[in-house]
């Protein structure tokens, strides 16, 4: 029984997701959905709203009157409710089946927050606009958007359950240095170069190109002038790609043996189920199966939109059937010479080479300069607002290069430029005019507290312009031409054709425990993470019905998996309180966790007291990059050197004396240090 | 003892309230109508209403959604343990650093305390005014959070007398007094308290806590005893007084007192077993070295480590989980050798020094034997799985009961050679090893004396069963084992979770009993008795006469023994929690605020809650930049250890030479002298 809900302060449902059990529970409580003319979806939404309204209202009362807010409820049946407020939106995650703990739920909330940031960019900086964005007035649009977010959330939950890289929130690479190097070279010399020199790129510039085999990274290339892609963003992109082209676990189960044996028609195993429920349904996703959508769309046009329908194919319900070559708009963090910009617009093209293997291109769009300006203004206005709230008031100096004068001239110019680009700026102009009238007029109050609401309004209007430029549907015409995309796809397909089957197998057996057993008898499993690079290495743990792993099949393997998962959870819980080493004797196993710092040459640095993450943010890299903050904190006392941070999780048989276990751990850390240095670039 | 006088030193409770939702049903009903009690009472009414209204509303909503009452509610700055029953809602808040289990346990304790003295909650609010009951809530609250350290809050454990500074024979004496009182068929079980601390108890820890409230309360009021609670009668000199208070037991509690699971368990498991040789010697050894109330404390005096012993060998000697038996098994062999003294207990004229002398003698004998036991013990432990260990607990319990004499049921008489009701079943095994020669004689003497008692016992048992049935709860003998087992888990092992479902049902039926109290200055003998005990003049006199002189003697001895500081200090901090007796041994003084101690308490809280969540976890080492803490647990105990001044800077990379990983060894050695055996 799971549920996730985003609500505004006025208890309006901005987004919800429930699993079937929760759905049934609600229906039991209220009787079956009656069609009230607006469809069952609508009725269900109302019920969710009714159910949670008392909690939401109580929450805002507590904030208003006591400056306190709820964070968790636990019931005697061990249902958990986690609540978190971001700005004016309240997020509630519920679990009633014991599959997720409090930390998982909070993490989920942060993940959905991150997803909205990647999807809506700076619009999320204004609660008013975010509310509108999450809950479009139009029912069909709303349904489509929620469907997409729900799908992303489900994909995330699946990956966190199944995939070690999403468990520890670090990128896992395919360990094959030669091929990896070849591919990087290919991406650099051939692909990106050709794309960026083509006339059909419509002003877009490929910044990053990478190849994913399921959730593992084969090769990654960033162009020279590109900002580095943060681990958090890369993981989010991988999540989105997985959502667009899910690796169907059922089908993958037949691998890898089957593939090796039956070379006859491997496609059969890897073709994703063509049934509609499996198909990602989002209106701005590049559905690369050309023609399919167009053909299918009319068939469903006259069907009543009942639930089944909604689940089957949302594409039919969309306003405009998407062009399959349309990229996904993503907002990524960039650090340029001009400064740091948290949510810059990019386009993501995810081109499936074969089922399970995807080429992803991230391009910078031509108008991103506008986004930089908007961010600059937003920052200035926010700083001003804060200063005013703190009581630093005063008259505006009429001359000179004060920040406020700077803002004035730049903003005037910016509005002019926008107007030239046929962008609706009337609201922004109005807000700016009001602001100026208050701040700069001679008889006016100057810089005073009275200006705060005008700052707020200006802030909102700037976000509105951002939305208009980068988020709303009209911007989707901009893209690499379909033929260019096709060419890129073919090029990489040609390059990897011979490797295809190998890669699919390799992604299941990236590294195996067998190769470590001789050296480390008694070692059952380990995970090694380089937090500075955001990468991890771990023997594969395949928990599928049909493929037996080295751990064998069934309950034992499942048990070991659950131990590994709980070890990571435990380690995080202790790390949150400042403990960097944890060893436990748990049942028949001995579990260890270590976190340490090194400089670039591998010299081990001292442990320091570790700060707790603020506001109970989850420890990880996907939704909120705790480790980056940690590294930054640590670097303060080691400003002269590059600091690296590593983590090692190990699981040994309990009969191994703890002395040996610890020796193993230190040898393992030494041994794994090398391969993790394969350059990402 | 030093900190018994500072009740609100560490006030951990931010808020506590009881809200009656049935009073606020209509739209127009003011929230204040539902507030039965709010702490701190000086909180402005508006804020009280706000908190009660919001929390009650939100909990109601959540529990409807989940179809299960809310247990815990967390805010950013604090956490609330919540209990919802009928229309009542209790909420108890503390700072977020106290583990969830501890907060919930505290609240449960508080509620059950109230029910213990006042009966069912709804009924008591019908009978008494809110103001009256508010006073009581406040009293119980103060009692629960009074005067103990943060560690005590984490484990919510009993406060016991610091037996390191007390002659162990005094503790034996206390146990003797209790046993003597139990001869009266109307007495269920008892405990002896000195200045708000347990000296010896026959009750399960939960019950002891409850009994202590009344004691502390009357102690603080010194001579003016409480009249508020009904039949309070007084007699005797100013320094010695008695009184009776009505109390209410849950059927489970009563069952634990009246019908321990043990007889059956023992019969089915003990007898078929080949007579296990090695344990007898240990049985004896513990007899003398280990003293009842807190066997840990006692163990400090004992070079031979004890706690593991009780788990590893099946010996019946253990910090016996359920009920009164905890105290008695250790005591029984002494009882035999000191036969005159036991029988004299009734005539209550007994020279303590005599006892001591003879005990010492025997101790010598036993020490020698102990060596064997120790070496055997290790072997035994190796091949015993945890499951067995668990079984042992029950088993021990079984023996314990037998030794305890008063529980003897007719059925147990098939131990042919121990016809005396007061004799432990193990005596037969014991004879050859302990001072065999003298034993039989004594036994024969005793037999005659005890024959009567046995009869009494039988009658009493019948009475009890009848009582139980009358109370609307039929107790089937067949079920005892199971129930008792469950009960034991609830009392000893239960981390506030097991048996909760049960208790909610049980609480609906509360069985009235009485609490008899006999105070001699700071020493209190508290007995749970049948309700009509008070009216039975003969019984009252029997009990008071049998105990008065001994109590006086005990009090005098306790008074003269110097309290002394906390145990031997070393370059380390440790805490040893006995989950079964619910006691804590530590060298951390309540008020210390050294950074090392702070980090020790923090780590302990974390690890304790980890232990309570993960049943399979056996030991753990956690290290932050400042401190490394080692912890280990068995089904019966948890131990935490921190070594001071090992701040040799390290990198945190795995390294087997790291000082943190030598902690288990250090703990094993250092803690031996505190009587904590981790071997």
What is the model's pLDDT at position B550? Answer: 87
ipTM, two decimals, is 0.85
* Same-domain pairing of A83 and A34: yes
Residue pLDDT, tens place only, A655-664:
999 999 999 9
Q: Between chains, do B62 and A75 touch, taking CB under 8 Å as contact?
A: yes
Average pLDDT over residues A588-611: 88
Residues 627 to 656 of B: which have CB under 8 A from any A CB? Answer: 628, 649-656
In a domain, A434, yes or no: yes
The percent of residues in chain B predicted with pLDDT above 70, rounded, is 55
CB of B66 within 8 Å of any CB in chain A? yes
Query: Does residue A582 form part of some domain?
Result: yes
Give dist(CA B604, CA B627) in Å, integer.
12
Structure tokens at B594: 């050294």
Which alpha helices (DSSP H) does B85-204 contain, by range? 100-118, 121-127, 130-145, 150-155, 168-181
- What number is the average pLDDT over the span B69-89? 92
Domain end, chosen from A446, A474, A502, is at A474
B92's tokens: 């108890």
pLDDT at B553 over 50: yes
B68 and chain A: CB distance < 8 Å anywhere? yes
- Residue length of chain B: 679
Q: Cβ contacts (< 8 Å) between B660 and chain A: which residues?
A: 581
Q: What is the pLDDT of residues B439-493, one digit of tens each?
A: 444 444 445 444 444 444 455 445 444 444 444 333 333 333 433 333 333 333 3
Q: Rounded to a whole number, what is the largest CA-CA distance in chain B? A: 82
**A73-95 mean pLDDT:** 94
Q: Is B70 on the interface with A (CB under 8 A)?
A: yes
Q: Across all residues in chain B, what is the average pLDDT?
A: 67
- pLDDT at residue B169 above 80? yes
User: What's the pLDDT at A564?
Assistant: 95
- 3-class state of residue B518 by DSSP: strand
Q: Which residues of B616-639 are buried (b: 16+ CB within 10 A; e: fewer)?
A: ebbbbbbbbbebbbbbbbbbbbbb
Residue A54 lies in a domain: yes
Question: Which region holds residue B405: left if phi is over 0, alpha if psi is between -120 and 50, else beta?
Answer: left
Chain A contact set for B54 (CB, 8 A): 58, 61-62
- DSSP state letters, A17-70: EE-HHHHHHHHHHH-SPP--SS-HHHHHHHHHHHHHHHHHHHHHHHHHHHS--E
Whether A319 has a pLDDT exceeding 60, the answer reads: no
Q: Among the listed ranges A164-168, A377-381, A522-526, B226-230, which one has the minimum average pLDDT value?
A: B226-230
Burial A315-335 (b: 16+ CB within 10 A, else e): bbbbeeebbbbbbbbbbbbbe
CB contact under 8 A, B649 and A579: no
Chain B residue with the nearest C-alpha to that of A75:
B70
Q: Is the pLDDT of residue A541 over 60?
A: yes
Chain B contact set for A583 (CB, 8 A): 620-621, 661
> Contact, B324 vs B404, CB < 8 A?
yes
Tokens of A77: 């049946």
pLDDT at residue B653, rounded to an integer: 86
Q: Are residues A517 and A466 in the same domain?
A: no
The 10 Å Cβ neighbour count of residue B309 is 26
User: B75–A69: do the CB atoms touch at under 8 Å?
Assistant: yes
Query: Hey, are the CB atoms on B614 and A597 less than 8 Å from each other?
Result: no
**B161, exposed or middle or buried, with CB in 10 Å at 0-12, 13-18, 19+?**
buried
The DSSP bridge partners found for residue B35 are B19
Angle between helices B352-382 and B168-181 (to 10 degrees): 100
**Is A283 a domain residue?**
no
B562 has a pLDDT exceeding 80: no
* Number of neighbours of residue A557 by Cβ within 10 angstroms: 18
Domain identity same for A221 and A344: yes
The alpha carbon of residue B344 is apart from the nearest alpha carbon of chain A, in Å, by: 51
Residues of B whose CB is below 8 A from A666: 653-656
Q: Give the C-alpha separation, B244 to B233, whole Å.
A: 7
d(CA B442, CA A131): 88
Nearest to A54 among B57, B68, B73 (CB): B57
Calpha distance B319→B578 (Å, rounded): 8
How far is B177 from B550, CA to CA, in rounded Å? Answer: 7
Residues A435 and A519 placed together within one structural domain of the fold: no
pLDDT per residue as tens digits for the range B17-75: 999 988 888 888 888 888 999 988 888 999 999 999 999 999 999 999 899 999 999 99
> ∠ at Cα B143 (B137, B147), nearest 5°?
145
Q: Report the candidate in A202, A490, A584, A213 with the shortest Cα–Cα distance to residue A367.
A: A202
Average pLDDT in chain A: 82
- Comparing B536 with B457, the larger pLDDT belongs to B536
**Whether residue A74 is found in the same domain as residue A111:** yes
* Number of structural domains found in chain A: 4
Closest partner CB to B661 (pick from A94, A597, A658)? A658
Does residue B474 belong to the interface with chain A, where contact is any CB pair within 8 Å? no
Give the pLDDT band of residue B231 (cuts 50, 70, 90): very low
Q: Which residue does chain B place closest to A647, by CA atoms? A: B653
Among A590-604, B112-126, B246-260, which stretch is predicted with the lowest mean pLDDT?
B246-260
Residue B71 touches chain A, beta carbons under 8 Å = yes
Residue whose structure tokens are 């008392």: A54
Domain span at residue A414 reads: 370-474
DSSP class of B307:
H
Cβ within 8 Å of residue A398, ≥6 positions away: none
Give pLDDT, residue B259. 63
| pLDDT tens readout for residues B355-398 | 443 434 444 444 444 444 443 443 434 444 443 434 333 333 33
C-alpha dihedral over A400, A406, A409, A410, to 10 degrees? 160
Q: Last residue of some domain: A314, A339, A366?
A: A366
A579 contacts B603? CB cut-off 8 A: yes
At residue A52, the pLDDT reads: 93
**Higher pLDDT, residue B542 or A486:** A486
CB contact residues (below 8 A), chain B span 130-159, against chain A = none
In the numeric block, which tokens belong to residue B424?
């432990």
Closest CA to B630 of B582, B589, B671, B588: B671
User: CA angle, B588 as apex, B583 and B592 as ends, to 5°?
Assistant: 135
Mean pLDDT of A326-347: 91
Chain B residues with CB-CB distance to A598 below 8 A: 651, 653
Residue carrying the six token digits 């003969």: B538
The rounded distance, in Å, linking the Cα atoms of A365 and A381 is 25
Q: Does A94 reside within a domain? A: yes
Cα dist from B326 to A388, B175, B191, B320, whole Å: 69, 10, 11, 4
Q: What is the CATH number of the domain that holds A124?
A: 3.30.450
Give yes or no: residues A12 and A70 share one domain. yes
Angle in degrees, 0-180, between the axes of helices B100-118 and B205-220, rounded to the nearest 10: 70
Contact B90, B51 (CB under 8 A): no
A235 and A335 share one domain: yes
**Can you point out the beta strands (E) in B521-643?**
523-529, 572-578, 583-586, 617-624, 628-634, 637-643
Q: Which residues pair with A341 in a beta bridge?
A: A334
Last residue of a domain, one of A91, A126, A141: A141
User: Could you tell me the pLDDT band of residue B304, with boundaries at 50, 70 and 90?
Assistant: very low
State residue B107's pLDDT score.
93
Q: Collapsing DSSP states into helix, strand and coil, what is residue A509?
A: coil
pLDDT above 90 as % of chain B: 20
- Identify the weakest region by mean pLDDT among A337-346, A421-430, B173-182, B410-419: B410-419
- Show the tokens assigned to B222: 């010194």
Tell me if B651 and A76 make a contact (CB, 8 A cut-off): no
Mean pLDDT of A462-479: 80
Query: What is the value of pTM for the model shown?
Result: 0.78
| B residues 595..624 contacting A (CB < 8 A) | 602-603, 606, 610, 614, 616-624
Euclidean distance between CA atoms B621 and B663, whole angstroms = 8
pLDDT, residue A474, reads 56
Q: At what angle do helices A554-576 and A102-120 cross, to 10 degrees?
A: 80
Do B661 and A594 count as a contact with CB atoms less than 8 A apart?
no
Distance (Å) from the C-alpha of residue B631 to the closest C-alpha of chain A? Answer: 9
The answer to whether B620 contacts A662, with C-beta atoms less than 8 Å apart, is no
B287 pLDDT more than 50: no
Is B72 in contact with A81 (Cβ distance < 8 A)?
A: no
B451-485 core/surface letters (b: 16 or more CB in 10 A; e: else): eebbebbbebbeebbebbeebeeebeeeebbebbb
CA distance B537 to A281: 85
Interval B618-643 mean pLDDT = 92
The label of the residue with tokens 């929230």 reads: B31
Distance CA A55, CA A83 (A): 10
Q: Are residues A548 and A574 in the same domain?
A: yes
pLDDT at A29: 79
Please report the pLDDT score of residue B419 as a whole number. 37
Judged by average pLDDT, the poorest of A393-407, A568-582, B110-124 is A393-407
Residue A241, pLDDT above cutoff 90: yes
CA–CA distance, A660 with A665 (Å, rounded to integer): 8
Label residue A155 by pLDDT band (50, 70, 90). Answer: very high
- pLDDT of residue A437 exceeding 90: no
Chain B CB contacts of A606 under 8 Å are: 649-651
pLDDT of the residue at A303? 36
Q: Are residues A20 and A100 in the same domain?
A: yes
**Residue A260's pLDDT band (cuts 50, 70, 90):** very low
> In this predicted structure, what is the pLDDT of residue B148?
66
Residues A436, A417: one domain?
yes
Between A91-100, A268-277, B191-200, the lowest mean confidence (pLDDT) is in A268-277
pLDDT, position A593: 97
| Per-residue pLDDT at B291 exceeds 60 | no
Query: Domain for residue A236, yes or no?
Result: yes
The minimum CA-CA distance between A67 and chain B, rounded to whole Å, is: 10
Chain B residues inside the 8 Å CB shell of A657: none
pLDDT at residue B496 in the model: 37
- List phi, psi (to 5°) of B326: -45, -40
A607 alpha carbon, distance to own chain's centre: 30
Contact B652 A77 (CB under 8 A): no
Instruction: Verify that A35 and A127 share a domain, yes or no.
Output: yes
Q: Is residue A256 part of a domain?
A: no
Q: Which of A278-292, A571-585, B498-512 has the highest mean pLDDT?
A: A571-585
Is pLDDT of A461 > 80? Answer: yes
The whole-number pLDDT of residue B27 equals 81
In a domain, A281, yes or no: no
Question: Residue A170: is its pLDDT beyond 90?
Answer: yes
Q: Which residues contact B438 (CB under 8 A, 6 or more apart)?
A: B337
Band of residue A515 on the pLDDT scale cut at 50, 70, 90? confident
Indicate the DSSP class of residue B166. S
Q: Are residues A663 and A519 in the same domain?
A: yes
Q: Exposed/middle/buried for B646, CB within 10 Å: 0-12, 13-18, 19+?
A: middle
Instruction: Say how far apart CA B375 and CA B278 lie, in whole Å.
Output: 10
Smallest Cβ–Cβ distance between B624 and the set A75, A580, A586 belongs to: A580
Instruction: Give B34→chain A minimum CA distance, Å.
Output: 18
What's phi and psi for A401, nearest 5 deg? Answer: -95, 55
Q: Provide the pLDDT for residue B354.
A: 42
């Amino acid at each position: 029984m799971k549920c996730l809900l985003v609500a505004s302060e006025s208890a309006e449902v901005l987004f919800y997701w429930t699993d079937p059990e929760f759905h049934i529970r609600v229906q039991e409580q209220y009787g079956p959905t009656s069609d009230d003319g607006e469809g069952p979806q609508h009725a269900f939404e109302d019920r969710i709203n009714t159910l949670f309204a008392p909690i939401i209202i109580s929450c805002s009362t507590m904030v208003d009157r006591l400056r306190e807010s709820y964070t968790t409820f636990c019931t005697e049946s061990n249902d958990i409710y986690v609540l978190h407020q971001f700005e004016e939106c309240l997020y509630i995650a519920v679990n009633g089946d014991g599959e997720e703990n409090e930390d998982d739920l909070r993490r989920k909330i942060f993940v959905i927050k991150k997803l909205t940031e990647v999807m809506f960019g700076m619009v999320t900086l204004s609660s008013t606009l975010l509310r509108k964005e999450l809950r479009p007035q139009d029912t069909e649009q709303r349904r489509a958007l929620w469907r997409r977010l729900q799908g992303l959330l489900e994909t995330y939950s699946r990956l966190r359950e199944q995939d070690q890289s999403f468990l520890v929130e670090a990128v896992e690479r395919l360990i094959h240095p030669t091929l990896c190097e070849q591919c990087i070279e290919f991406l650099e010399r051939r692909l990106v170069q050709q794309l960026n020199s083509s006339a059909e790129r419509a002003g877009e510039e490929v910044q990053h190109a990478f190849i994913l085999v399921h959730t593992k990274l084969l090769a990654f290339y960033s162009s020279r002038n590109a900002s580095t892609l943060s681990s958090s963003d890369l993981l989010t992109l991988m999540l989105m790609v997985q959502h667009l082209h899910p690796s169907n676990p059922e089908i993958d189960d037949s691998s890898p043996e089957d593939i090796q044996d039956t070379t006859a028609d491997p496609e059969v195993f890897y073709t994703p189920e063509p049934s509609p429920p499996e198909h990602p349904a989002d209106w701005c996703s590049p559905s690369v199966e050309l023609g399919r959508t167009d053909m299918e769309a009319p068939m469903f046009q006259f069907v009543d939109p009942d639930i089944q329908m909604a689940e089957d194919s949302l594409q039919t319900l969309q306003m405009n059937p998407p062009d399959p070559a349309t990229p996904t708009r993503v907002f990524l963090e960039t650090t340029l010479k001009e400064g740091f910009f948290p949510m810059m617009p990019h386009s993501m093209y995810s081109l499936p080479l074969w089922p399970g293997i995807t080429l992803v291109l991230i391009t910078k769009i031509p108008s991103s300069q506008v986004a930089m300006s908007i961010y600059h203004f937003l920052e200035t206005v926010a700083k001003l607002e804060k200063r005013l709230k703190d009581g630093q008031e005063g008259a505006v100096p009429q001359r000179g290069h004060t920040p406020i004068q700077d803002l004035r001239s730049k903003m005037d110019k910016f509005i002019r430029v926008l107007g030239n680009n046929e962008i609706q700026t009337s609201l922004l102009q109005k807000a700016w005019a009001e602001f100026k009238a208050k701040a700069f007029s001679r008889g006016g109050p100057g810089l005073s507290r009275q200006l705060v609401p005008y700052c707020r309004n200006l802030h909102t209007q700037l976000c509105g312009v951002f939305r208009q430029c980068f988020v709303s549907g009209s911007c989707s015409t901009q893209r690499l031409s379909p033929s260019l995309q096709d060419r890129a796809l073919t090029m990489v397909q040609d390059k990897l054709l011979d490797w295809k089957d190998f890669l699919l197998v390799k992604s299941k057996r990236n590294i195996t425990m067998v190769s470590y057993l001789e050296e480390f008898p008694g070692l059952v499993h380990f995970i090694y993470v380089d937090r500075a690079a955001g990468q991890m290495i771990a023997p594969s743990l395949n928990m599928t019905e049909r493929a037996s792993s080295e751990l064998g099949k069934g309950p034992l393997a499942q048990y070991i998996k659950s131990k590994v998962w709980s070890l990571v959870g435990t380690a995080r819980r202790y790390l949150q309180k400042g403990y960097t080493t944890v060893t436990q004797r748990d049942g028949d196993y001995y579990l260890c966790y270590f976190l340490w710092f090194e400089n670039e040459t591998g010299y081990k640095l001292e442990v320091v007291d570790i700060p707790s993450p603020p506001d109970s943010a989850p420890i990880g890299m996907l939704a909120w990059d705790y480790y980056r903050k940690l590294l930054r904190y640590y670097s303060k006392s080691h400003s002269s050197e590059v600091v690296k941070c590593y983590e090692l999780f190990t699981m040994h048989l309990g009969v191994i004396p703890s002395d040996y276990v610890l020796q193993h751990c230190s040898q393992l850390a030494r041994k794994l240090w090398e391969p993790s240095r394969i350059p990402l670039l | 003892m030093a900190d018994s006088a500072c009740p609100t030193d560490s006030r951990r409770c931010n808020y506590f309230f009881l809200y009656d939702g049935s009073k606020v049903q209509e739209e127009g009903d003011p929230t204040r109508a539902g507030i039965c009690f709010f702490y701190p009472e000086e909180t402005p009414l508006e804020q009280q209403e706000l908190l009660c209204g919001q929390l009650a509303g939100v909990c109601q909503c959540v529990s409807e959604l989940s179809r299960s009452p809310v247990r815990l509610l967390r805010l950013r700055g604090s956490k609330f343990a919540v209990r919802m029953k009928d229309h009542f809602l209790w909420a108890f808040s503390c700072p977020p650093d106290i583990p969830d289990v501890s907060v919930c346990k505290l609240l449960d304790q508080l509620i059950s305390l109230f029910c213990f003295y006042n009966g069912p909650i709804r009924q008591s609010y019908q009978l008494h005014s809110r103001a009256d009951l508010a006073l009581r809530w406040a009293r119980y609250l103060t009692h629960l959070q009074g005067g103990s350290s943060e560690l005590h809050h984490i484990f919510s454990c009993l406060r016991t007398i610091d037996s390191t500074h007390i002659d162990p024979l005094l503790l034996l004496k206390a146990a003797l007094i209790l046993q003597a009182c139990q001869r009266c068929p109307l007495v269920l079980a008892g405990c002896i308290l000195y200045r708000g601390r347990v000296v010896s108890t026959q009750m399960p820890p939960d019950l002891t806590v409850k009994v202590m409230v009344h004691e502390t309360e009357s102690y603080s009021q010194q001579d003016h005893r409480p009249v508020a609670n009904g039949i309070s009668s007084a007699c005797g000199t100013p320094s010695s007084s008695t009184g009776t208070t009505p109390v209410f037991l849950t059927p489970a509690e009563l069952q634990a007192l009246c019908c321990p699971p043990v007889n059956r368990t023992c019969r089915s498991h003990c007898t078929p077993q080949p007579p296990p040789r090695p344990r007898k010697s240990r049985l004896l050894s513990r007899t003398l070295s280990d003293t009842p109330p807190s066997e840990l404390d006692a163990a400090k005096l004992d070079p031979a480590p004890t706690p593991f012993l009780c788990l590893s060998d099946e010996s019946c000697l253990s910090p016996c989980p359920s009920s009164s038996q905890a105290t008695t098994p250790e005591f029984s062999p002494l009882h035999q050798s000191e036969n005159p003294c036991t029988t004299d207990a009734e005539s209550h004229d007994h020279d303590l020094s005599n006892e001591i002398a003879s005990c010492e003698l025997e101790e010598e004998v036993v020490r020698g034997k102990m060596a064997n036991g120790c070496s055997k013990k290790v072997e035994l432990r190796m091949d015993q799985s945890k499951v067995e260990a668990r079984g042992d607990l029950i088993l021990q319990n079984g023996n314990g009961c037998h030794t305890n004499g008063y529980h003897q049921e007719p059925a147990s008489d098939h131990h042919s050679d121990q016809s005396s009701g007061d004799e432990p079943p193990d005596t037969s095994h014991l004879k050859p090893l302990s001072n065999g020669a003298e034993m039989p004689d004594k036994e024969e003497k005793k037999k005659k004396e005890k024959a009567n008692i046995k009869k009494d016992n039988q009658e009493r048992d019948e009475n009890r069963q009848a009582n139980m049935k009358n109370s609307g709860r039929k107790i089937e003998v067949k079920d005892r084992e199971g129930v008792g087992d469950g009960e034991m888990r609830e009392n000893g092992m239960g981390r506030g979770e097991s048996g909760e479902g049960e208790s909610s049902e049980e609480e609906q039926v509360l069985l009235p009993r009485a609490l008899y109290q006999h105070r001699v200055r700071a020493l209190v003998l508290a007995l749970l008795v049948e309700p009509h005990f008070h009216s039975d003049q003969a019984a009252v006199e029997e009990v008071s006469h049998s105990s008065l002189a001994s109590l006086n003697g005990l009090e005098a001895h306790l008074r003269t023994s110097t309290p002394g500081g906390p145990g031997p200090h070393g370059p380390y901090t440790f805490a040893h929690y006995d989950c079964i007796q619910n006691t804590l041994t530590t060298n951390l003084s309540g008020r210390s605020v050294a950074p090392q101690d702070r980090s020790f308490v923090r780590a302990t809280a974390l690890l304790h809650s980890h232990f309570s969540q993960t049943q399979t976890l056996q030991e753990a080492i956690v290290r932050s930049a400042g401190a490394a803490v080692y912890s280990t647990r068995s089904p019966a105990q948890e131990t935490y250890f921190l070594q001071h001044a090992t701040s040799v800077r390290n990198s945190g990379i795995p390294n087997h030479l790291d000082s943190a990983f030598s902690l288990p060894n250090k703990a094993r050695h250092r803690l031996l002298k505190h009587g904590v055996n981790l071997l």
